[in-house]
């Protein structure tokens, strides 16, 4: 890829060298570094995609309203708001690579909390596990996104980040299909009408179905800890620094919001993630509506995979398109299409609404990496703090789905899609205005 020339191993921690050498470690160049980072995008996409299965599954297990069920997403994405800015300040001191290791360790601990949560059948413990898991992923996001942006020239950063995010979408595409097979198929194999099983034991078995997936995810994360502790990644940004009080670092991060491109970009990340997560969270219930498609959850899960698969396809295409077309223009066009398709899903019926909302995934494809790279443009050595601010804005994935849950309980699930439709309208505005904005440091 353009701008990703091979990097010679030096064992130094200079601006264009490698992380400090550890005994038995192996230095890797920029191309291998990008591949390694891309694996992280895949794994956290897979974990995030499983939430779309957890929402309807736990709604069934604990007999929840839409508002209560979507607390799965609220706790998951609230962690970004709480963790991201402090993570940015810590990563500035300890380095991007150690930040990756810490994030992976925290995420694996969150996965393991699911085991006692399932066995004790405590919904709040599931929410705690999700919060810890997301805290680890937030640290990974703050480390990995600017790392990918810096592995080459600034002009090709949107294309490069779109390519990495395409593998994030591969994870979110595979996760619902995997969850549908592992969780929903097993649920329908157990009947509460069986005289040998009580309703309580039936629900206990339903809750236990999440144990194995999250146990194996924890093992995969720990394997990645071992890998990133062994290799020496290229250092292409100022990767460490003098220790400062965390509150001062947080203040500096918020001071960066004086720069309009970063501020409006943070709002763009908020509404984009909120819209994408809200749609994914309600798709299984939406497709199951008798007046719409009347799908059972296992079948609906395959369409959730198509929704995320469309995003993956669009990111691979977008990585090439953004080499030649101005990112702000592409972002605006995708925003108009997403708002229009969401509106069609609201007023349509049958498979027309199903395919309209699935196609929104294609429009979502380039939004996050494009907004992220546009907002970071010109921040230079403040990129880690700017990344923390943008990752904090991922809290939109907590707030927007909750708003849609309240709307779904009040006016019905189909009309509640007005919430993400409004979010896409803002993205159109940011795409149009971004060429006029600058981050002046």
Span 83-111, pLDDT tens digits: 877 887 777 777 778 888 899 999 999 99
Q: Which domain holds residue 288?
A: 26-229+246-436
Least confident of 66-75, 119-128, 253-262: 253-262
What is the rounded CA–CA span in Å between residue 36 and residue 398?
29
At residue 215 the predicted structure's pLDDT band, cuts being 50, 70 and 90, is very high
Query: In this structure, is residue 1 part of a structural domain?
Result: no
Query: In this structure, is residue 422 part of a structural domain?
Result: yes
Q: Does residue 423 contact residue 400 with C-beta atoms inside 8 Å? A: yes
What is the rounded CA–CA span in Å between residue 138 and residue 85?
10
What is the rounded CA–CA span in Å between residue 264 and residue 135?
24
Q: Does residue 305 contact residue 174 with C-beta atoms inside 8 Å? A: yes
Q: Taking Cα atoms as reference points, which of 181, 122, 212, 153 lies closest to residue 373?
A: 153
Helix H or strand E segment including 26 = strand 26-27
What CATH number is attached to the domain comprising 71?
1.20.1250.20
Query: In this structure, is residue 298 part of a structural domain?
Result: yes
At residue 311, the 3 state secondary structure works out as helix
Asked if the model's pLDDT at residue 368 lies above 50, the reply is: yes
Query: In this structure, is residue 16 part of a structural domain?
Result: no
Q: Does residue 4 contact residue 152 with C-beta atoms inside 8 Å? A: yes
Cβ neighbors of 183 (< 8 A, separation 6 or more) are 53, 57, 209, 210, 213
Number of helices and strands (H, E) in the chain?
18, 2
Query: In this structure, is residue 327 part of a structural domain?
Result: yes
For 18, which DSSP code?
Answer: B
Asked if the model's pLDDT at residue 388 lies above 50, the reply is: yes
At residue 294, the 3 state secondary structure works out as coil
Query: In this structure, is residue 195 part of a structural domain?
Result: yes
At residue 339 the predicted structure's pLDDT band, cuts being 50, 70 and 90, is very high
Longest dimension (CA), the chain: 70
The number of distinct structural domains making up the chain is 1
Beta bridge partners of 27: 232
Asked if the model's pLDDT at residue 362 lies above 90, the reply is: yes
pLDDT for the residue numbered 19: 47
pLDDT for the residue numbered 355: 96
Q: Taking Cα atoms as reference points, which of 374, 360, 376 lies closest to residue 256?
A: 376
pLDDT for the residue numbered 335: 96
Query: In this structure, is residue 11 part of a structural domain?
Result: no
Give this prediction's pTM: 0.75
What is the rounded CA–CA span in Å between residue 273 and residue 360?
13
Query: In this structure, is residue 12 part of a structural domain?
Result: no
Q: Does residue 15 contact residue 235 with C-beta atoms inside 8 Å? A: yes
Question: For 210-356, where are the E strands, in sequence order?
Answer: 231-232
């Amino acid at each position: 890829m353009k701008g990703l020339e091979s990097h010679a191993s030096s064992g130094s921690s200079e601006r264009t060298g490698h992380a400090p050498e550890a005994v038995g470690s192996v230095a890797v160049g920029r191309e291998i570094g990008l591949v390694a980072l891309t694996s992280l995008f895949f794994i956290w996409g897979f974990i995030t995609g499983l939430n779309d299965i957890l929402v309807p599954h736990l709604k069934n297990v604990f007999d929840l309203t839409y508002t209560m069920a979507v607390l799965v997403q609220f706790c998951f994405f609230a962690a970004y708001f709480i963790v991201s800015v402090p993570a940015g300040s810590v990563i500035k001191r300890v380095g991007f690579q150690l930040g990756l290791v810490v994030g992976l360790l925290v995420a694996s601990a969150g996965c393991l909390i699911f085991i006692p949560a399932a066995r004790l059948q405590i919904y709040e413990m599931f929410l705690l596990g999700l919060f810890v898991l997301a805290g680890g992923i937030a640290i990974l996001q703050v480390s990995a996104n600017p790392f990918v942006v810096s592995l080459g020239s600034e002009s090709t950063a949107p294309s490069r980040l779109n390519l990495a995010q395409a593998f994030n979408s591969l994870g979110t595409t595979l996760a619902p299909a995997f969850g549908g097979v592992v969780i929903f198929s097993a649920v329908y194999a157990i009947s509460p009408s069986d005289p040998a099983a009580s309703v309580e034991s039936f629900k206990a078995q339903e809750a236990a179905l999440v144990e194995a997936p999250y146990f194996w995810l924890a093992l995969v994360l720990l394997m990645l800890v071992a890998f990133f502790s062994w290799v020496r990644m290229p250092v292409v940004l100022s990767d460490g620094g003098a220790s400062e009080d965390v509150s001062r670092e947080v203040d500096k991060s918020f001071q960066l919001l004086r720069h309009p491109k970063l501020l409006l970009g943070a709002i763009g990340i908020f509404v984009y993630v909120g819209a994408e997560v809200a749609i994914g969270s309600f798709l299984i219930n939406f497709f199951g509506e008798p007046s719409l498609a009347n799908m059972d959850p296992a079948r609906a899960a395959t369409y959730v995979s198509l929704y995320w698969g469309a995003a993956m396809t669009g990111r691979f295409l977008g990585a090439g398109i953004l080499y030649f077309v101005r990112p702000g223009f592409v972002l605006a066009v995708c925003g108009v299409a997403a708002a229009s398709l969401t509106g069609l899903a609201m007023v349509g019926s049958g498979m027309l609404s199903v395919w309209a909302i699935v196609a929104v995934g294609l429009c979502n494809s380039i939004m996050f990496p494009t907004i992220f790279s546009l907002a970071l443009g010109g921040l230079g050595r403040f990129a880690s703090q700017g990344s923390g601010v943008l990752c904090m804005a991922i809290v939109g994935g907590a707030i927007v789905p909750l708003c849609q849950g309240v709307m779904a309980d009040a006016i019905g699930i189909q009309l509640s899609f007005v919430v993400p439709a409004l979010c896409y309208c803002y993205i159109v505005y940011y795409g149009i205005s971004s060429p006029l904005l600058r981050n002046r440091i």
